[in-house]
Amino acid sequence: MPLTRRRAARITAAVLTVAAIGLSAAGCGSMSGKETIRFAFSKREAIPFMNDVVATYNKSQNKVEVIMDTSGVDVTSASFVRGNPPDIALANHNMEVSRFVERCTLTDLADTSAAQRINPDLTPLVDQYGVCEGRTSALPYSVMSASVIYNKQIFADHQITVPQTWSDLLAAADKLKAAGVTPFYGTFAGTDAWTIGQGWFDYSAGGMVDMKEFFETLHEEGVNVGPHSRQSFQKDFLEPMNRMLQLTDNYVNADAASRTYADGNLAMAQGKAAMLLQGPWAFSEIAKTAPNLELGTFPLPMTEDPGDLRVRVNMDLAAWIPERGHHHQAARDFLEYLYQPEVIDAYNASQLGFTPTTDAKQNDDPRVAGMKPYYDAGQMYQGPSVLVHKSIPVFNYAQAMVLGADPQATLATIDADWARLAFRQA
């Protein structure tokens, strides 16, 4: 899609800003006697925390000066094209980063101390975004788990225990509805399709389909993905989507089609619904209105076997160092600092994330305690919405199904999109 003039101007301005940062940083480094490195950081809500980390590191030694760049994904991607990537990055590990991994533009971090401490259960999830053979291109830094958020008081008032099976879930929803309580708060407004994609769509599919096997098969099938391929959206996702629609058709607020992400957080804070399908990022928003509200989490049960329960995760941040950076050793020194237990554990505690190291401090926040046993046991999956290329509008397709589109036809469209993309990339 062509850029609007306004957006093009913003990106150009941001690129010039980063260039200016690089020039001023180089000058500053020469005056201070320190080697200056540019650190790209992509999680905007955690900038204050990371500013403190950078300031503490800079004061702790006299060899390296870190300058943080928060310009965002577009500028970071453009910097690779210009041949001036950041020296080190902590960024969301997704399809955007996969381009850099698969083209082997990132250095091998396998020999770092940090790499030796990464939980091996996470390696298959990191590898879903591409592999450069023989290299450890990125190290997970923060794993964000997401599942059903529920109001503990409402559950207690109606003597409902956390559901472990699909039947349990329907029974709980029926009991709440009969008592005049909205079981789930839906936020299906046109502007917030992502809330359906990351929640309803991902939790439903991830609760029934092995995401690792599914996407490995889809990549192998390539242009043949469709009704006759070994696996496809229209075959493997149909039952999960039908169950998703059973919930959204019968157990959400009547005005869900016009409600937004912000509406959902406010409704939960006001006790207007028992459950919300959101990640832990919603907790801080809910707390603005109801700081003492007792909330918990549990994976959405989609089968009759409690052994199938898993939580949705994403590699919220991963660290990488570009090949074309000019300060590899300085960047590696800072990387090792970032992975010190007192730094990485504190960061994840502040964001309600899980630390991906084997020596991680236990996250004892009661709001995410319901997800911890599944994370610890490796019962987790990355949502299909983040494993599909951005050119395929999965969020919009998920929204269309919730608002009445035929799931069989919609899933067939996703298959066709996948096959066309595979053909273009062949």
Which stretch of 16-20, 109-113, 161-165, 186-190 has the lowest confidence by average pLDDT?
Answer: 16-20
The CA distance from 287 to 8, in Å, is: 37
Predicted confidence at residue 157, as pLDDT, reads: 98
Predicted confidence at residue 262, as pLDDT, reads: 97
**74 and 211 co-located in one domain:** no
Beta-sheet pairing, 273-278 with 139-151: antiparallel
Length of the chain: 426
DSSP 279-348: -THHHHHHHTT-TT--EEEE----SS-GGG--EEEEEEEEEE-BTT-S-HHHHHHHHHHHTSHHHHHHHH
Comparing C-alpha atoms, which of 118, 33, 98, 45 is closest to residue 285? 45
Predicted confidence at residue 78, as pLDDT, reads: 78
Domain annotation covers residue 46:
yes
Q: In the predicted model, what is the mean pLDDT of the chain?
A: 91
**112 and 160 co-located in one domain:** no
Beta-sheet pairing, 139-151 with 88-91: unpaired
Domain annotation covers residue 266:
yes
Which pLDDT band holds residue 31 (cuts at 50, 70, 90)?
low
**244 and 256 co-located in one domain:** yes
Q: Which amino acid is at 46?
A: A
The CA distance from 87 to 37, in Å, is: 6
| Segment 206-217 mean pLDDT | 96
| Region of residue 230 (left: phi > 0; alpha: psi -120 to 50; beta: else) | alpha
Which stretch of 63-67, 76-80, 393-397 has the lowest confidence by average pLDDT?
Answer: 76-80
- Give the chain's domain count: 2
Q: Residue with structure tokens 């830094």?
A: 141
Q: pLDDT digit string (tens) for 331-355? A: 999 999 999 999 999 999 999 999 9
* CATH code: domain of residue 42: 3.40.190.10
Non-local (6+) Cβ contacts of 124 within 8 A are 212
Q: Residue with structure tokens 């490195």?
A: 37
| Segment 287-303 mean pLDDT | 97
DSSP 256: G
Domain annotation covers residue 375:
no
Predicted confidence at residue 32, as pLDDT, reads: 65
**92 and 50 co-located in one domain:** yes
**211 and 139 co-located in one domain:** no
Domain annotation covers residue 207:
yes
The CA distance from 50 to 71, in Å, is: 14
Q: Which residues span the domain enclosing 58?
A: 5-143+315-365
Q: pLDDT digit string (tens) for 122-151? A: 999 999 999 999 999 999 999 999 999 999
**16 and 153 co-located in one domain:** no
Which pLDDT band holds residue 210 (cuts at 50, 70, 90)?
very high
Which pLDDT band holds residue 364 (cuts at 50, 70, 90)?
confident
**302 and 190 co-located in one domain:** yes
C-alpha angle 43/45/50, rounded to 5°? 70
Domain annotation covers residue 376:
no
Extract the tokens encoding 193.
């399709």
Non-local (6+) Cβ contacts of 34 within 8 A are 62, 63, 64, 65
Predicted confidence at residue 211, as pLDDT, reads: 96
b/e per residue, 374-400, with b = 16+ CB within 10 A?
Answer: bbeeebbbbbbbbbbeeebbbbbbbbb
Beta bridge partners of residue 295, listed in sequence order = 151
Which pLDDT band holds residue 15 (cuts at 50, 70, 90)?
very low
Phi, psi (degrees; rounded to nearest 5) at 353: -100, 175
Which pLDDT band holds residue 11 (cuts at 50, 70, 90)?
very low
Contact (CB, 8 A) for 130 and 353? no
What share of the chain in percent tops pLDDT 90?
83
Predicted confidence at residue 282, as pLDDT, reads: 96
**399 and 276 co-located in one domain:** yes
DSSP 74-136: HHHHHHHHHT---SEEEE--SHHHHHHHHTT-B---TTSHHHHTB-GGGHHHHHTT---TT--
**153 and 124 co-located in one domain:** no
Domain annotation covers residue 180:
yes
Beta-sheet pairing, 139-151 with 64-69: unpaired
pLDDT value at 74 more than 50: yes
Which stretch of 31-35, 65-69, 210-214, 323-327 has the lowest confidence by average pLDDT?
Answer: 31-35
As a dihedral over the C-alpha atoms of residue 224, residue 230, residue 231, residue 236, rounded to 10 degrees, the angle is 130
Beta bridge partners of residue 319, listed in sequence order = 90, 139
Domain annotation covers residue 377:
no
This prediction's pTM: 0.87
Domain annotation covers residue 373:
no
pLDDT value at 20 more than 60: no
**405 and 329 co-located in one domain:** no
pLDDT value at 42 more than 50: yes
b/e per residue, 222-247, with b = 16+ CB within 10 A?
Answer: eeebbeebebbbbbbbebbbebbbeb
Which pLDDT band holds residue 363 (cuts at 50, 70, 90)?
confident
**269 and 308 co-located in one domain:** yes
Which stretch of 28-37, 249-258, 402-411 has the lowest confidence by average pLDDT?
Answer: 28-37
pLDDT value at 307 more than 60: yes
**112 and 207 co-located in one domain:** no
